[in-house]
A = this chain, B = another copy of it.
């Protein structure tokens, strides 16, 4: 496939070149006079790497807009956990929730998710059918079933799907579970994915129970290393930021979720950049967002940094775009996120509608003006997975019907 005449933008900047794709990979960029059988004329359009949404619970889509107006701990105890216990009685609700979530994700150009949940077999099935990429991290804090899931799924991983270990948090996972997770992570060379330092309550409880701040508590057991993905990581000291940077770990900023659950602390994203941590961006679940839209996540992340430091030059669009693309894929071990020879053809073609006129600065335009309605085509490994409102790999009508049926079944259970 040849994509001709697009304005190519990745976090390094903009250039006008053609992109030659073979067997799912970018094999060259430059100027190619000879037309291919499969040539996409992208004159006047913008080609960017697709997004890696570094923190989701995509099976939670059935809980969208539930528990509105509650803080994290009320929301978990009063709404989310009771409903999730109920959902375990409904086979297939996680699968169909994941498909609905993936459609929403694709509409904003997300082609890879880092996901933590239960019943991850069902999420895996949805991810495979949709043809996207994922790191799936079953939550082992919920009991033996979680660890069993990890071990079972490890036998079924594929080029597009990686398996890791989810540890919900230091307040739901006992120390021996965390140590067991770390041991397995090192032994199998797989990721650990954990919520940490999300709220002030978590920080206070950690100081009280462990005599240490959350990141220090984890670091004491060598939990934080290159395969560790720390999500939220907002209530941290400069020392904790330095630790995370030195360990070359990945942090995930979920700006909308933090605001929605009124966690109070804005993640010091730019300090992580300076400390050389691998900074990435996530939407979190639609139950704590209430959307899965990476354009929204990028813009909100950038704006919050400007606000936090009273510095309009914060939220640099190149760093934001890098965090939403290249850094996420790098964390998960996928060679995507740059438009460059040797990288996977995980791409978005944007049509710059009136909302991107004038373009002026392409990086700014993508990060601060871009909207899902600008997304015209999305490719994973050179294969179309979204095109102008249509999902070639998903039967949208059927999925929404099945979803509504499952929701009725769910409502009937209460």
Once bound together, how far apart are the Cα atoms of A273 and B269, in whole Å?
33
**Other-chain contact of A357, B100, B107, B314 (Cβ < 8 Å):** B100
Q: Which residues of B contact A80 (CB under 8 A)?
A: none
Known interface pairs A65-B368, A354-B400. Does A264 touch B310 (Cβ–Cβ under 8 Å)?
yes
Tell me if B403 and A304 are in contact (CB < 8 A).
no
Tell me, yes or no, whether A341 is within 8 Å of chain B by CB. Answer: no
Known interface pairs A364-B68, A371-B293. Does A312 touch B61 (Cβ–Cβ under 8 Å)?
no
Tell me if B369 and A64 are in contact (CB < 8 A).
yes
Tell me if B307 and A407 are in contact (CB < 8 A).
no
How extensive is the interface on chain A, given as a class? 35 or more
Shortest beta-carbon distance from A393 to chain B in Å:
14
Shortest beta-carbon distance from A411 to chain B in Å:
9
Shortest beta-carbon distance from A352 to chain B in Å:
9
Give the contact stretch, choosing among A21-29, A109-117, A186-194, A284-292.
A284-292
Tell me, yes or no, whether A41 is within 8 Å of chain B by CB. Answer: no
Besides A289-B368, A291-B369, 10 other CB < 8 A contacts?
A62-B358, A64-B360, A65-B365, A71-B311, A107-B353, A259-B304, A262-B314, A266-B307, A354-B399, A357-B400
Identify 24 residue pairs between A and B in the complex whose beta-carbon atoms are under 8 Å apart, listed by A's number.
A61-B357, A61-B358, A64-B357, A65-B360, A65-B365, A70-B312, A103-B353, A103-B354, A258-B307, A259-B304, A260-B306, A260-B368, A261-B312, A262-B307, A262-B310, A264-B310, A266-B307, A286-B369, A291-B355, A291-B369, A293-B371, A300-B303, A357-B404, A371-B373
**Chain A residues packing against B (C-beta within 8 Å):** 61-62, 64-66, 68-71, 74-75, 100-101, 103-104, 107, 256, 258-262, 264, 266, 286, 289-293, 296, 299-300, 303-304, 306-307, 309-314, 316-317, 353-355, 357-361, 364-365, 368-369, 371-373, 396, 399-400, 403-404, 407
